[in-house]
């Protein structure tokens, strides 16, 4: 089959066969298939979709395009979590040491912030000395010793995904459920996992704006990963307001440390972390139907065991013992506080979470371009939830900044209504 015949097959609808599918994608990796032919195929795939089998083949092509982890010598069950991203989205920082303390191996590969969302790696780097970019052998060594490591994706992992994403970005083919599925699952499957838990966000601060779109993505992700033999569950969670009390880098680490130490934290954040953690426990210990994972997890937090693992892991990743002892006070925090205020009396009916994310980027809490630098010290503290009753001029959030700024654009992110609005549950659905 020629490349043109392959493109026409997707254009006309019928399913590809495995052999010609892999041939086309291998040709793209070697450069025999030029960008313009892949661009035509991507648009045809965007509009006509991919079958479950085709998603599995594309995922396989992504995995096999680069290096993979082989963790077969580690006896612990290997489970990871992936979030589709949002504002204040920090569960990974808690989940990794928490699950590690439960005997689960978590080879977690995270990303950096781009666009309106922050990135776990950027947040962690607000801890002085923290190094997320390590040689593969070092990652494996830390995993062997401490059950968890915060990893960055190296250029040798899933290079096909990088090449495809760069092309999708310039050809209007990013928001395809099928292509997103292969990208996410392909990268995660290089970690040699037994189980995967997905946090699929929906709402105005998420990539998927509607519950329907989030459900479609969650089903596609679970379906594809399960077909590849990895036990996978997705929770669809609300992103119509930031998750937790804080948005930023230092402040999100601060909040995560508080939770890891068993301190009282914002309830939505705690709920999402514990729900995801329970799913990870179920994936790690599928035979165990006696343990009350919620009780056990809370105990790991209250007893300080989870925080102990956090300390060990970040020390193994370059943070000095002195810094570890000085946490969280050694985190850099901006000195000025600016109030974000309600524009009227009433109820907060909507929080423009996407816009909050974009505004935080302008304060350097995130980046628009890969080459932008981040100021870890700036942050936003949410004082209310969507639905809260407020008075005009009352603070609804606080900005932590290095110089006084006009907060009116932040004020505009909070819509006030006269009637008390009704909201959905934080965790909308579970897809398995």
Task: Name every residue whose Cβ is closer than 8 Å to that of residue 62 and which is 6 or more positions away in sequence.
Answer: 158, 160, 161, 164, 182, 183, 185, 186, 187
Q: How far apart are CA 364 and CA 370, in angstroms?
A: 13
Residues 381, 251: contact at Cβ < 8 Å? yes
381 among known catalytic residues: no
CB of 164 to its own copies, least distance (A): 12
Residue among 21, 24, 44, 147 that touches its own copies (CB under 8 A)? 44
How many C-alpha atoms does 106 have within 13 Å on its Cβ side?
A: 30
- x/- track of binding to its own copies for residues 153-192 (CB under 8 A): --------------x-xxxxx-------------------
Q: How far is the CB of 383 from its own copies (least distance, A)?
A: 37
The Cα–Cα gap between 262 and 299 comes to 8
**Residue 36 interacts with its own copies (CB under 8 A)?**
yes
From candidates 21, 25, 42, 125, binder to its own copies by CB under 8 A: 42
Query: Per-residue x/- marks for its own copies, 58-97, CB under 8 A?
Result: ----------------------------------------
Catalytic residue among 83, 101, 126, 183: 183
Residues 376 and 391: their CA atoms lie apart, in Å, by: 32
> Out of 10, 82, 305, 312, which one is annotated catalytic?
82
- Residue closer to its own copies, measured from CB, 170 or 337: 170
58, containing H or E segment: helix 52-64
Distance, C-alpha 43 to centroid of its chain: 26
Q: Catalytic site residue 282? A: no
**Residue 432 in contact with its own copies, rule: CB under 8 A:** no
Asked if 337 touches its own copies (CB under 8 A), the answer is no
- What lies within 8 Å, CB to CB, of 101 at 6+ separation is 147, 300, 305, 306, 308, 309
Nearest approach, Cβ of residue 11 and its own copies (Å): 5
- Least distance (Å) between residue 46 CB and its own copies: 7
| Residues in contact with 296: Cβ distance below 8 Å, sequence separation at least 6, in sequence order | 102, 281
Asked if 46 is part of the footprint of its own copies (rule: CB under 8 A), the reply reads: yes
Q: Which is nearer to its own copies, 180 or 234 (CB)?
A: 180
Could you give the 3-state DSSP secondary structure of residue 137? helix
Residues ≥6 apart with Cβ < 8 Å to 197: 79, 80, 81, 82, 232, 233, 234, 235, 276, 279, 280, 283
From 161, 199, 238, 352, active-site residue: 161
* Binding residues for its own copies restricted to 1-20, rule: CB under 8 A: 3-5, 7-8, 11
Closer residue to its own copies in complex, CB, 10/187: 10
Question: Count of CB atoms within 10 A of residue 121's CB?
Answer: 20
Which of 81, 187, 215, 367 is catalytic? The answer is 187
Q: Residues interacting with its own copies, by CB under 8 A?
A: 3-5, 7-8, 11, 34-44, 46-48, 167, 169-173
Catalytic machinery residues? 82, 161, 168, 183, 187
């Amino acid at each position: 089959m020629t490349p043109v015949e392959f493109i026409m097959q997707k254009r006309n609808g019928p399913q590809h066969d495995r052999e010609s599918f892999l041939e086309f994608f291998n040709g793209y990796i070697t450069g025999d298939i030029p960008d313009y032919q892949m661009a035509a195929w991507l648009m045809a795939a965007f509009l006509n979709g991919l079958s479950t089998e085709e998603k599995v083949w594309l995922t396989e092509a992504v995995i096999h395009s680069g290096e993979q982890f082989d963790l077969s010598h580690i006896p612990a069950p290997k489970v990871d979590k992936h979030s589709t991203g949002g504002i204040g989205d920090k569960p990974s920082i808690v989940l990794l040491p928490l699950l590690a303390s439960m005997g689960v191996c978590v080879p977690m590969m995270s990303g950096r912030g781009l666009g309106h969302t922050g990135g776990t790696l950027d947040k962690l780097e607000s801890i002085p000395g923290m190094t997320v970019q390590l040689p593969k052998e070092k990652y494996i060594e830390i995993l062997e010793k401490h059950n968890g490591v915060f990893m960055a994706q190296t250029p040798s992992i899933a290079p096909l995904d990088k090449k495809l994403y760069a092309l999708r970005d310039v050809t209007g083919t990013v928001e395809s459920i099928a292509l997103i599925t292969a990208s996410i699952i392909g990268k995660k499957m290089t970690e040699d996992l037994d189980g995967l838990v997905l946090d699929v966000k929906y709402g105005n601060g998420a990539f998927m704006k509607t519950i329907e779109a989030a459900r479609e993505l969650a089903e596609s992700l679970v379906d594809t990963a399960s077909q590849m033999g990895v036990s996978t569950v997705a929770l669809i969670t609300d992103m119509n307001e930031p998750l937790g009390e804080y948005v930023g880098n230092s402040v999100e680490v601060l909040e995560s440390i508080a939770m890891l130490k068993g301190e009282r934290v914002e309830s939505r954040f705690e709920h999402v972390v514990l729900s995801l953690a329970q799913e990870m426990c179920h994936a790690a210990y599928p035979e165990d139907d006696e343990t009350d994972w919620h009780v056990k997890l809370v105990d790991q937090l209250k007893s300080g065991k989870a925080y102990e693992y956090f300390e060990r892991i970040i020390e193994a990743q370059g943070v000095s013992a002195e810094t570890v002892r000085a946490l969280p006070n050694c985190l850099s925090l901006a000195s000025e506080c600016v109030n974000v205020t309600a524009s009227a009396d009433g109820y907060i009916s909507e929080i423009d979470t996407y816009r909050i994310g974009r505004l935080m980027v302008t304060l350097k809490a995130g980046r628009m371009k890969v080459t932008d630098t981040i100021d870890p010290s700036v942050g936003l503290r949410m004082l209310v939830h969507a639905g809260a009753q407020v008075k005009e001029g009352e603070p609804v959030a606080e900005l932590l900044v290095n110089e006084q700024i006009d907060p009116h654009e932040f004020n505009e992110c909070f819509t006030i209504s006269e009637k008390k609005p009704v909201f959905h549950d934080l965790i909308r659905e579970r897809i398995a």
